[in-house]
Structure 1
Amino acid sequence: MSASDLLEGLPSRVHDVYAKFAQETPDHPAFVEAGRSWSYRQFSDAVEAASRDLRELQIRPGDRVMVASENSVALGAILFAIGRLDAWAIAVNPRLSARELEQIRSHSGARRVLFNSALSREAADHALRAGASTRSIGPFGGIGVAPLNEEARAEPVEADAARQVAALMYTSGTTGTPKGVMLSHRNLLIAAKTSGVLRRTGPADRIYGVLPMSHIVGYSILLISTLMHGATLHVVSKADPAALAEAIAKDGITTLYGVPATYQRLLEYKAVKGISRLDRGRLRMMCVAGAPLDLTLKGRMEEEFGIPLLNGYGITECSPGLAGVREKRPADDETVGPILPGVEHRIVDRNGHEVPAGSVGELHVRGPNVMLGYYRSVEQTRAAIDPDGWFNTGDLARINGEGDLYIVGRTKELIIRSGFNVYPAEVEAVLNAHELVVQSAVVGRKVDGNEEVVAFVQLLPGAAIGVDELKSYSAGLLTSYKRPGEIVILDALPAASTGKILKHKLRELANGSKIDPATAAG
């Protein structure tokens, strides 16, 4: 399957993906949310009504519209409605702080900010601070509408789907500083199509939608791809392992997407509740991405449900998919699978020269899924995408003789200790394999002329193990320069709404001062 094959038959705009099903199978469920089913016809009507209301709120083509909401049918409909007006959709998680939301609002120059106050206290609090008035948008009530930003300037509108921005997605990357990723309609459409084709998504599928639509996987792979292929999205506002286990057992879930933490928490729930075996129901596919997958977790999930846990790899700037393990060729190791169709790749050294086959280098990619650039940041865009269209992922990778990609670590996360390269993912895999460890994160700490390895660890509730025992355990499995100089036990690791560990916060903690594990854990 080539890029031209993927581009064939794509609509020109994201909001057109469900039109075929609204016409041909109007009564088929597009969404299930809190026990209520929304048919394709009902959802299509909701998007049209929402777009009329947004127009009344003076949203113009080229405007940026920010929506703070947990996962919901309302959020999906409003995002599509924004696209119908050729405005730019900015989905943000309401659990962000007021400071973080203001950063995004200010940088984007949003014409309006909407808050789904009916769904969460966080959104309602933000709406109150913003002086928002409450009204309905389409059939969805309880939406806080902030005052109009009269100074907002509309961006030019492009007829070409490859040039018109559909979504502005803010990502903090490894630094914690938000960057606005401009994703075109074609970027999102081709990523959604590729995902659905490779995973054989069809009307019989019910996909569990726990990853936030404010995150690229939730937006592109769950929301857009599900509707593009006529399937049903089981919308979940907040992650809850008990609810997930019940949905798999009783609600006909066929496809589950998650980050490693999704599966870790599911197994933790099983252990705490003393469940002998989780009910697989109709589940036919499990997919994971967003963070390194340790083989112990992979093996435990595959034993639990009797199907492969398919690892994948992507990045917001690439809409997101870049590689994925195929259902027909599951892997026994930590590979993220072959590069996806239509994506060119090369692995280079620090001087930009391609490395020998099988060697580790920086992964650069090119294709119709690569972003237009970072909003209002020409310099950052030029640093990320070269004149020939190659995007620097910032990830260290290698490819084996069979074409399988392995992500070794982030370029910026590489720890150089006494002249030796230490890849955090390798140390984390060792720690995560311990039966009492839920998850871990490894970062570097600068010392005079060197770096130290610092590991943060989250244990199973009630686990009776200390730092010295963990050090002794890792010492038996890692060579001396890879061993953590310090291990810090925390009740929970700082994480984004997706479950992805926020390493920049841990790095700040590790480099701020010598850590007292007792106080850090409390």
Structure 2
Amino acid sequence: MDKIWLQSYPPGVPAEIDQNEFRSLVDLFERGVQRYGERTAYINMGKSISYAELDRLSARFAAWLQHELKLPRGARVALMMPNVLQYPIAMFGVLRGGYTVVNVNPLYTARELEHQLRDSGAEAIVILENFAHTLEHVLPRAPVRTVIVTSLGEMLGFPKGAIVDFVVRHVKKMVPAWRVPGYVRFATVLARGARHELAPVELGHDDVAYLQYTGGTTGTAKGAVLTHGNIVGNLQQAHAWIKPYVEEGAETIITALPLYHIFSLTANCLTFFKIGATNVLITNPRDIPGFVKELAKYPFTVITGVNTLFNALLNNPDFARLDLSHFKIALGGGMAVQQVVAEKWKKVTGKVLFEAYGLTETSPAVTINPLDLAEFNHSIGLPVPSTDISIRDDNGKEVALGQRGELCVRGPQVTKGYWNRPEDTARAFTADGFLRTGDIVVMDPQGFIRLVDRKKDMILVSGFNVYPNEVEDVIASHPGVLEVAAVGVPDERSGEVVKVFVVKKDPALTVEAVIAHCRENLTGYKVPHHVEFRKELPKTNVGKILRRALRDEAVHSAQGA
């Protein structure tokens, strides 16, 4: 379709980006550390490291992978950590060594972790000790041969690091007992890596940078293959969008969303790395009082997050008392920004909460609202530079402007496909190379896109995808369950939560038993908040459960309540 959205671009935002400015993310990194040297790159729990220190430490990590592990080029290395200094050191180290990063959610259950490690073929993993007990159960069935363990205090220096680790391990008891034979400490890796010279690796746009796992209609997580070209393309698109509003070497961005999530990885970690920003890493954003205390320490200029995070900040009385004189931009993604939250945000901070939209498969940005908007506008914004959009009906035909259809995307940021899944890849793309997003949208005459529905049955909980088939498969494995259907229902805090409808096989089955079974096999945000028992479930004439009918009923019931 014609790029009518270009007429609505703010002054200074180009129609196209130069993807060839950087040969790879390593090229971007090397230029960044050379340019910004002694400027602070990351801060976590009061400890900061400069761009120059990040250069030295990530080189040591990469050299250790090359010379002591002797990993072949392109080998996959899993990272299973929250936002701590070890993450950017290891992540850039993996890329500089010529390897592929496999980002892993630290809250995964053993079942979920085993699938991702086996599917990716990860040969090594860096993991926070708090989650090592999960890895212990998986290792006998996983390809991982090297385990690097770190702690929350390991990069914080003495005595602070020792105090943090003592409190975490022995006072708060946040580190369950674990046993992983032959593991090596992160600090040991850096010390040994210092003995070797990093062997430079020539990387190009087609080399794989990340395997970023996402769910699918089967409920089985798939690795979206994101190349150096994909990520470079998207950070160039994001930078083009924000360039008129930011100053190189002068921004401080708050990173509360986990860096293993594609939104935070590209938007915060990489795009703001390009302009020499200081990145404040928040390890536990669920501790809102602690989070607000951290915000008070820094003259931050930018913050990204999901609707639930902004809502939680607004409901903390100390947030409104912060000095926000330096604050410029708030960007919400991962889930829909609610109008009531956006309006309250503007009232409290004086700044618009801008909404963006993207997917794991698009690295992630597809659309962003112009940063010169005066008010929240209920849309997901305009397509970013160098992006083609097509809105199509169920027959693959482009719909008329103003009509609803499935959003299809083509551009440098779009994945080439799923790791070792050619059939899933083929289904995801149209014949002319557009990625089918599964989201139903409407575009107005100015090019703004409004998200109206999801073609998929995917449930969005605080910005994280929950796929009904996965939840249903887990619950169906309980011996007391005959049938089950999972749907999403509205929730003020999380946007949506999971509700399941269950037909009992065992009359004695209880709600508590269903929930307990889910907690053993699913990450917390996937566990149902509501369980309703039914004598039977609505089905089509061929026996397929009508999830949409159940969802509509559940939503209507929730609204009535």
Same fold by TM (over 0.5)? Answer: yes
> Is residue 389–residue 410 contact of structure 2 (8 Å, CA) maintained in 1?
yes
Q: For 2:92, which of 80, 89, 112 is the aligned residue?
A: 80
Please say if 1:206 is aligned against 2:252.
yes
Please say if 1:243 is aligned against 2:290.
yes
Q: For 1:352, which of 386, 396, 401 is the aligned residue?
A: 396
CA distance in 2 between counterparts of 1:221 and 1:265 reads 21
Query: In structure 2, the residue corresponding to 1:5 is in which secondary structure?
Result: coil
Q: 1:80 Cα deviation (Å)?
A: 1.4
Query: In structure 1, the residue corresponding to 2:17 is in which secondary structure?
Result: helix
CA distance in 2 between counterparts of 1:103 and 1:133 reads 17
Please say if 1:40 is aligned against 2:51.
yes
Aligned residues: 435
Please say if 1:289 is aligned against 2:333.
yes
Partner of 2:502: none
Opposite residue 172 of structure 1, the aligned amino acid is G
Partner of 1:96: 108
Q: For 1:126, which of 135, 159, 177 is the aligned residue?
A: 135
Partner of 2:279: 233
Q: Can you list the C-alpha shifts for 1:330-375, whole angstroms capped at 9, x where unaligned? A: 4432101111111000101000111111111000010100001100
Query: Residues 133 and 21 of structure 1: is their aligned pair in 2 closer, same or farther, counting only changes over 3 Å?
Result: closer
Partner of 1:151: none
Partner of 1:24: 35
Q: For 1:178, which of 216, 221, 239 is the aligned residue?
A: 221
Partner of 1:326: 370
Query: Residues 314 and 135 of structure 1: is their aligned pair in 2 closer, same or farther, counting only changes over 3 Å?
Result: closer
Query: In structure 2, the residue corresponding to 1:62 is in which secondary structure?
Result: coil
Q: Can you list the C-alpha shifts for 1:33-64, whole angstroms capped at 9, x where unaligned? A: 11111111100001100001112123220211
TM-score normalised by length of structure 1: 0.74
> Is residue 31–residue 37 contact of structure 1 (8 Å, CA) maintained in 2?
yes
Q: Can you list the C-alpha shifts for 1:272-331, whole angstroms capped at 9, x where unaligned? A: x7x765542422111101111221111011111000000100101000000111111344
Q: 1:3 Cα deviation (Å)?
A: 7.0
> Is residue 241–residue 266 contact of structure 1 (8 Å, CA) maintained in 2?
yes
Q: 1:387 Cα deviation (Å)?
A: 3.8
> Is residue 98–residue 203 contact of structure 2 (8 Å, CA) maintained in 1?
no
CA distance in 2 between counterparts of 1:317 and 1:454 reads 22
Q: 1:136 Cα deviation (Å)?
A: 7.7
Q: Can you list the C-alpha shifts for 1:463-507, whole angstroms capped at 9, x where unaligned? A: xxxxxxxxxxxxxxxxxxxxxxxxxxxx9xx99xxx9965x9579
Query: Residues 59 and 348 of structure 1: is their aligned pair in 2 closer, same or farther, counting only changes over 3 Å?
Result: same
Q: 1:203 Cα deviation (Å)?
A: 1.3
Partner of 1:166: 209
Please say if 1:259 is aligned against 2:271.
no
Query: In structure 2, the residue corresponding to 1:283 is in which secondary structure?
Result: coil
Q: 1:185 Cα deviation (Å)?
A: 0.2
> Is residue 38–residue 51 contact of structure 2 (8 Å, CA) maintained in 1?
yes
CA distance in 2 between counterparts of 1:12 and 1:19 reads 11
Query: Residues 53 and 351 of structure 1: is their aligned pair in 2 closer, same or farther, counting only changes over 3 Å?
Result: same
Opposite residue 312 of structure 1, the aligned amino acid is A
Q: For 1:313, which of 346, 350, 357 is the aligned residue?
A: 357
Q: Can you list the C-alpha shifts for 1:428-457, whole angstroms capped at 9, x where unaligned? A: 9xxxxxxxxxxxx9x9xxxxxxx9997454
Q: 1:122 Cα deviation (Å)?
A: 2.1
> Is residue 68–residue 123 contact of structure 1 (8 Å, CA) maintained in 2?
no
> Is residue 394–residue 412 contact of structure 1 (8 Å, CA) maintained in 2?
yes
Q: 1:250 Cα deviation (Å)?
A: 3.0
Q: 1:229 Cα deviation (Å)?
A: 1.4
Query: In structure 1, the residue corresponding to 2:101 is in which secondary structure?
Result: strand
Opposite residue 197 of structure 1, the aligned amino acid is A
Please say if 1:220 is aligned against 2:266.
yes
> Is residue 114–residue 146 contact of structure 1 (8 Å, CA) maintained in 2?
no
Where relative contact order (Cα < 8 A, 6+ residues apart) is larger, the structure is: 2
Q: 1:128 Cα deviation (Å)?
A: 7.7
Query: In structure 2, the residue corresponding to 1:407 is in which secondary structure?
Result: strand
Opposite residue 374 of structure 1, the aligned amino acid is Y
Q: 1:249 Cα deviation (Å)?
A: 3.2
> Is residue 454–residue 510 contact of structure 1 (8 Å, CA) maintained in 2?
no
Q: How does 1:363-374 map to 2 (within 5 A)?
A: 363-374=407-418
Query: Residues 105 and 146 of structure 1: is their aligned pair in 2 closer, same or farther, counting only changes over 3 Å?
Result: farther
> Is residue 311–residue 337 contact of structure 1 (8 Å, CA) maintained in 2?
yes
> Is residue 115–residue 145 contact of structure 1 (8 Å, CA) maintained in 2?
no
Q: 1:260 Cα deviation (Å)?
A: 0.5
> Is residue 206–residue 254 contact of structure 1 (8 Å, CA) maintained in 2?
yes
CA distance in 2 between counterparts of 1:243 and 1:329 reads 31
CA distance in 2 between counterparts of 1:500 and 1:198 reads 35
Q: 1:112 Cα deviation (Å)?
A: 1.6
Opposite residue 251 of structure 2, the aligned amino acid is D
TM-score normalised by length of structure 2: 0.69
Q: How does 1:431-442 map to 2 (within 5 A)?
A: none
Query: Residues 382 and 234 of structure 1: is their aligned pair in 2 closer, same or farther, counting only changes over 3 Å?
Result: same
Query: In structure 2, the residue corresponding to 1:66 is in which secondary structure?
Result: strand
CA distance in 2 between counterparts of 1:64 and 1:194 reads 27
Q: 1:386 Cα deviation (Å)?
A: 2.8
CA RMSD of aligned residues (A): 3.9
> Is residue 299–residue 327 contact of structure 2 (8 Å, CA) maintained in 1?
yes
Greater shift in the superposed pair: 179-188 or 202-211: 202-211
Q: 1:23 Cα deviation (Å)?
A: 2.1
Q: Can you list the C-alpha shifts for 1:118-143, whole angstroms capped at 9, x where unaligned? A: xxx12465358648766689x9699x
Query: In structure 1, the residue corresponding to 2:315 is in which secondary structure?
Result: helix
Query: Residues 457 and 33 of structure 1: is their aligned pair in 2 closer, same or farther, counting only changes over 3 Å?
Result: closer
Q: 1:110 Cα deviation (Å)?
A: 1.2
Unpaired segments ≥5 residues, structure 2:
1-12, 141-145, 157-164, 166-178, 184-200, 469-484, 495-514, 538-549
> Is residue 348–residue 355 contact of structure 1 (8 Å, CA) maintained in 2?
yes
Query: Residues 160 and 40 of structure 1: is their aligned pair in 2 closer, same or farther, counting only changes over 3 Å?
Result: closer
Query: Residues 81 and 340 of structure 1: is their aligned pair in 2 closer, same or farther, counting only changes over 3 Å?
Result: same
CA distance in 1 between counterparts of 2:331 and 2:275 reads 18
Partner of 2:169: none
Query: In structure 1, the residue corresponding to 2:390 is in which secondary structure?
Result: strand
CA distance in 2 between counterparts of 1:454 and 1:340 reads 29
Q: For 1:64, which of 64, 72, 76 is the aligned residue?
A: 76
